[in-house]
Amino acid sequence: MTPAQNQRHYGMDWLRVGAFVMLIFYHVGFSFTPWGFQTPSRGVVWWAEIPLLGLSAWRLALLFAISGYASAALFSKERSTGTFLHSRLLRLGIPLLFGLTVIVPPQPYMGLLNSGYARGYGYFLFHDAFSFRRVIHESLPAVMHLWFVIYLLAYTVALCIALMVLPARWRASLARGAEKVLGGAWLLPAGCLATYIVRAPGDGWTDTHSVLNDMCAHLHYGGMFLFGFLLRGSERLRAAIARQWSMSLVLGLAGYAVVALEACYYPGNVRTPRVWMEPLDFAKSVQCWGTVIALFGIADRFWNHDARWRGTLAEAVFPVFLAHQTVMVLVSYWLRDKGLTALPEFLVLCVSVAGGSWLFYLVGREVGPLRPLIGLKRARPARGAKAAAMPPSAI
């Protein structure tokens, strides 16, 4: 694997864009499964969980690994760890506060309306939304999908503290040790085993999305973030992925085959027998690590080239992520009494969520004061500027 000569890896941009497009379809499809969502309006589609299980084990691990890679690219351009931390606090913290206070509240409100809540949105916003108590079934204030940004910010802060506290020789030794293990024949077995070790205990693959009470997720996602950070500067690790990505893809598909087989025998919320749990956890670990490594290899081998829309799409990732779930919940609530069957409703939701989130980005990028609120730099790049010069995405 060879990085782009201009120090921007276009393949990682395309992988980031693809990962967040996938996230939209995943969240839309989620409401058609037995796992449920806030505003279901149609019966469960029995087979919908099968394709979603092809994504669920690795989609978040991939996003954190990509974020670690992007963070390393940004870090290489800063003067010091302190300036990097300051820039990340602004690029992630400001949109997080805006999202928690403006974008997210409609989601729990729609859920409460479905449960008989009789108050208007204004009353909810000023009396209940930030009351730090439970209203019917909603714990407020709600975090919803922005838990991802909270975790990413926490990992960034922890990384910066480690970079400032640990001596340089310790950091170099840790990096060399990680490269020695992952930069050769142990890339696949070590990664699969490490994923299994951190995911098997406790609730395994069930995340709490509570930053103070989600140890398995922190070990997994924090480790993937560090892996992405290390990959950005490691030629040895890049070369190992280039050699092994095709085998990784085979492993990922094999892990998914086991996961899908289990879902066929024990669909929906049917409890999986205990004898299946350990093999299932290991299959998910193989599926996760194998797919992530394969996608990194594919991004470098086939996608590392620029295109006209690449810069715009890369810039749009964070704003679209901020808006997509709220748009989905609002549209779902509007659709619930329209009498549509599953397929038309799925298509309407996909188009509406993609279009509404894109509109959110288009409007926000044109209004200077709004740009920092949605994760964009305040100054908009001049028209005609080269796409390669566009600032990296916030996530």
Q: pLDDT digit string (tens) for 36-67?
A: 665 555 667 888 899 999 999 999 999 999 99
Is 394 or 85 the better-scoring residue by pLDDT? 85
What is this structure's pTM?
0.93
Q: What is the mean pLDDT of residues 332-350?
A: 87
User: What's the confidence (pLDDT) of residue 268?
Assistant: 81
Contact 305, 10 (CB under 8 A): yes
> What is the pLDDT confidence band of residue 228, given thresholds at 50, 70 and 90?
very high
Is 388 or 54 the better-scoring residue by pLDDT? 54
User: What's the confidence (pLDDT) of residue 115?
Assistant: 85
Q: Which helix or strand (DSSP H or E) is residue 67 part of? A: helix 59-75
Residue 127 lies in a domain: no
User: What's the confidence (pLDDT) of residue 104?
Assistant: 97
3-state secondary structure of 139: strand
Give the range of the structural domain holding residue 159, as residue numbers without chain letter.
10-104+143-389
Residue 113 lies in a domain: no
372 alpha-carbon distance from chain centroid? 20
C-alpha distances (whole Å) from 136 to each of 113, 117, 133, 140, 367 are 10, 8, 10, 10, 38
Contact 129, 105 (CB under 8 A): yes
Residue 169 lies in a domain: yes
Residue 110 lies in a domain: no
Residue 253 lies in a domain: yes
User: What's the confidence (pLDDT) of residue 4?
Assistant: 44
Residue 289 lies in a domain: yes
Residue 203 lies in a domain: yes
- Does 382 have pLDDT greater than 70? no
Average pLDDT, the chain: 91
- Domains held by the chain: number: 1
Residue 344 lies in a domain: yes
Q: Which of 33-47, 136-150, 215-229, 290-304 has the lowest mean pLDDT?
A: 33-47
- Does 379 have pLDDT greater than 80? no
Q: What is the mean pLDDT of residues 343-372?
A: 94
